[in-house]
Amino acid sequence: MTDITELAQSLKAAAEKATQGNWRAFQYHDGRCGIGGGHNDEIMVCEHISKERPHDAMFISLANPANVLALVEALEKAQRANAAQDDHINQQQDRIDQLEKGHQEAAKQINSWRRMAKQNIADREKDIAELDAARQRIAELESRTVTVENLQESAYRAGLTAGWNLGLANNNDGFNKCLAAHAAGIKAEAE
């Protein structure tokens, strides 16, 4: 296949050297055919033309320098437009590549954040479980907590009973023993 640029340049060079003007095909009364501007401005005269090929002369007349130059100019313009489109396409492809790279990096970052979020959720669930266990333990300890007033009243009664059972006349000894026993195992709060 012929390189279109090479062919266009050779046609352009030949057209620039050829006779300029309005070419047309015509026929003499004697059957000869001519190509050129008219009967007195012939570029080419054919001595014999086949009656089966009258369109060849028409083709040759249309392949005149002006038409060849116009064709070459249109081709060069199309090639420039194609080159500009190729540049634009290359720029767009570069942009697409850049965006795809950014998309891949964003996807990696999102996956990293997902893993981190899952780990944080697991850690927070563990913290919540520990907090619930601590709250339960606090509730258990608080249920055993008595105020000093309740402790003293309870100890006083127990001291009276213990003192009576022990035959003690001084009930304060029983009270003090019960108060010490309760204080050792039970947290006491002041109101």
Q: What does the pLDDT average to over 40-64?
A: 65
In sequence order, which residues have a C-beta less than 8 Å from that of residue 183 and are 6 or more positions away?
A: 151
Task: Report domain extents, the chain.
Answer: 4-86, 145-189
Q: Which has more pLDDT, 24 or 53?
A: 24
CB 11 within 8 A of CB 68: yes
pLDDT at residue number 190? 44
* Tens digit of each residue's pLDDT (9 = 90 or more) over 10-30: 878 887 887 777 777 767 677
* Tens digit of each residue's pLDDT (9 = 90 or more) over 68-90: 888 888 888 998 999 999 999 99
Q: What does the pLDDT average to over 53-76?
A: 77
How far is the first Cα of the chain from the last one, in angstroms, to the nearest whole number? 107
Has this prediction a pTM greater than 0.85? no
pLDDT at residue number 188? 46
Q: Is the pLDDT of residue 108 over 70?
A: yes
Q: Give me 29's structure tokens.
A: 């009364």
How many other CB atoms sit within 10 Å of the CB of residue 52?
7
How many other CB atoms sit within 10 Å of the CB of residue 45?
13
Least confident of 18-27, 32-41, 109-118, 123-132: 32-41
pLDDT at residue number 107? 96
* Tens digit of each residue's pLDDT (9 = 90 or more) over 162-174: 555 555 555 566 5
Q: Is the pLDDT of residue 96 over 80?
A: yes
Rounded to whole angstroms, the Cα distance separating 122 from 66 reads: 82
Q: Is the pLDDT of residue 92 over 60?
A: yes
In sequence order, which residues have a C-beta less than 8 Å from that of residue 84 and are 6 or more positions away?
A: none
